[in-house]
């Protein structure tokens, strides 16, 4: 089957089953052809809570589909390919988060949405890379536990020097593949350029950034500025979309290793099968979902996060 045949079938099935497709911007770019919404974690979470579709197909990774299910317990949430996990989310489980809290009692825990529902259920409030600073600030305390990403924790610490951030030692292996030297070399090669960095990158990389932000914040920055070359220091899917959308600007991926293989598992073929056979359904145990929802709802009530609507 060709891509255009797959796209036609997917569109027809979406209509027939009153389904929507949410796609994260690290997905294979051809998925945008069938997606109703493309965006960052926060924007997509918000949308999942508002849609009146019967089925949500989440073209993203497992924790994103779980978040959608928590926000829409009466809808069927499908993940097209079960291999779409997140290495960072897998670095902390229920036992580990309980140990982390026990080691630092009476300090609120902020939990990056890149985590399992069980871990979200244990925290006081969730955050994404788009709103982590606002979320920590909103607590009005001088000490905060932060999990699982220690680099996003460092970014918050840098922005809020008056708050002590105690980070769990998790990280994203994809963003860790970016070294300071990669940026230095690219800046030498492209003279009128700026480096745009995701806060999951290590501190030494963030230090070299002209702008640091979530995927959507990076898209917004590009929209508002006019440099000759943008050095993109996050997953390749962002560069693929930028090259497609802006013909007069130059985009370079900081190195060719910044690919999240978990995100790339979902294909158009998987999405078609997902809609056809309604697999793979993602469910969250009710009591866990209830507690995780509280933490997500608290985050959603704070501003930030955007989506582009197809
Ligand atoms: P955003 O929060 O920028 O969408 O990023 C999600 C993610 O998985 C980054 O690695
Ligand atoms: Fe997880 Fe990193 Fe992939 Fe994002 S890029 S889904 S944090 S492994």
Report whether residue 88 contacts ligand 2, using a CB cutoff of 6 Å.
yes
What tens digit of pLDDT does each residue of 166-192 get?
A: 999 999 999 999 999 999 999 999 999
Q: Is the pLDDT of residue 307 over 50?
A: no
Shortest-distance Cα residue to atom 6 of ligand 2? 86
Q: Give me the pLDDT at residue 266, please.
A: 97
User: How long, in residues, is the chain?
Assistant: 310
Report whether residue 212 contacts ligand 1, using a CB cutoff of 6 Å.
no
Contacts within 8 Å (CB) and 24+ apart, 156-160: 156/132, 158/203, 158/206, 159/133, 160/133, 160/136
Measured between alpha carbons, how far is residue 13 from residues 7, 20, 55, 76, 98 in Å?
Answer: 10, 10, 11, 15, 43
What tens digit of pLDDT does each residue of 215-256 get?
A: 999 999 999 999 999 999 999 999 999 999 999 999 999 999
Q: Give me the pLDDT at residue 303, please.
A: 64
Across 33-52, average pLDDT: 86
What tens digit of pLDDT does each residue of 87-137 get?
A: 999 999 999 999 999 999 999 999 999 999 999 999 999 999 999 999 999
Sheet arrangement for strand 307-309: 76-78, 55-59, 19-24, 37-39, 307-309
Query: Counting ligands in written order, which one lies closest to the CA of residue 149?
Result: 2
Across 9-21, average pLDDT: 97
| Distance of CA 269 from the midpoint of ligand 2 (Å) | 22
Render 204-239 in DSSP notation, one character per residue: HHHTT-SEE--HHHHHHHHHH---SEEEEES-HHHH
What tens digit of pLDDT does each residue of 249-280 get?
A: 999 999 999 999 999 999 999 999 999 999 99
Q: How many angstroms from the chain centroid is the CA of residue 279?
A: 22
| Distance of CA 261 from the midpoint of ligand 2 (Å) | 9
Question: Roughly how many angstroms between the first and final C-alpha of the chain, as a whole number?
Answer: 24
Report whether residue 215 contacts ligand 1, using a CB cutoff of 6 Å.
yes
pLDDT confidence bin for 305, thresholds 50/70/90: very low
The percent of residues in the chain predicted with pLDDT above 90, rounded, is 92
Shortest-distance Cα residue to atom 1 of ligand 2? 86
Q: How many CB atoms lie within 10 A of CB 176?
A: 16
Which SS3 state, helix, strand or coil, does residue 291 take?
helix
Q: What is the reported pTM?
A: 0.95
Identify which of 60, 66, 235, 265 to mutate to test ligand 2's pocket (most ligand atoms within 8 A of the CB): 235
Report whether residue 200 contacts ligand 1, using a CB cutoff of 6 Å.
yes
Q: Is the pLDDT of residue 308 over 90?
A: no
Q: Give me the pLDDT at residue 49, please.
A: 76
pLDDT confidence bin for 310, thresholds 50/70/90: very low
Query: Counting ligands in written order, which one lies closest to the CA of residue 90?
Result: 2
Query: Counting ligands in written order, which one lies closest to the CA of residue 130?
Result: 1
Q: Is the pLDDT of residue 149 over 60?
A: yes
| Distance of CA 5 from the midpoint of ligand 2 (Å) | 30
How far is Cα 55 from Cα 148, in angstroms, rounded to an integer? 30
pLDDT confidence bin for 143, thresholds 50/70/90: very high
| Distance of CA 198 from the midpoint of ligand 1 (Å) | 8
Q: What's the burial of 167, exposed, middle or buried (CB within 10 Å: 0-12/13-18/19+)? A: buried
CA nearest neighbour of 67 among 279, 305, 293: 293
Check if the beta carbon of residue 188 is closer than 8 Å to that of residue 150.
no
């Amino acid at each position: 089957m060709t891509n255009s045949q797959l796209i036609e079938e997917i569109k027809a099935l979406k209509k027939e089953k009153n389904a929507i497709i949410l796609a994260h911007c690290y997905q294979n770019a051809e998925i945008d052809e069938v997606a109703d919404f493309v965006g960052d974690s926060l924007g997509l979470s918000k949308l999942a809570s508002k849609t009146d579709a019967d089925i949500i197909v989440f073209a993203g990774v497992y924790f994103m589909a779980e978040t959608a299910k928590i926000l829409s317990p009466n809808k069927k949430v499908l993940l097209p390919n079960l291999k779409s996990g997140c290495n960072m989310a897998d670095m902390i489980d229920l036992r580990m988060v309980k140990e982390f809290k026990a080691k630092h009692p009476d300090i609120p825990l902020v939990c990056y949405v890149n985590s399992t529902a069980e871990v979200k259920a244990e925290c006081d409030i969730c955050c994404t890379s788009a709103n982590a600073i606002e979320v920590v600030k909103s607590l009005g305390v001088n000490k905060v536990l932060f999990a699982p990403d220690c680099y996003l924790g460092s970014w918050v610490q840098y922005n809020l020097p008056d708050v002590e951030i105690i980070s769990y030692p998790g990280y994203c292996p994809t963003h860790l593949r970016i070294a300071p030297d990669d940026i230095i070399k690219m800046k030498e090669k492209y003279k009128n350029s700026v480096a745009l960095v995701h806060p999951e990158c290590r501190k030494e990389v963030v230090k070299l950034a002209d702008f640091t932000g979530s995927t959507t914040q990076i898209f917004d920055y590009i929209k508002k500025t006019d440099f000759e070359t943008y050095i993109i220091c996050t997953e390749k899917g962002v560069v693929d979309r930028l090259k497609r959308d802006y013909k007069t600007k130059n985009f370079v991926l900081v190195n060719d290793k910044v690919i999240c293989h978990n995100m790339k598992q979902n294909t158009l073929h998987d999405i078609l099968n997902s809609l056809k056979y309604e697999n793979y359904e993602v469910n969250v145990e009710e009591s866990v979902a209830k507690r995780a929802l509280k933490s997500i709802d608290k985050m959603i009530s704070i501003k930030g996060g955007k989506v582009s609507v197809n």
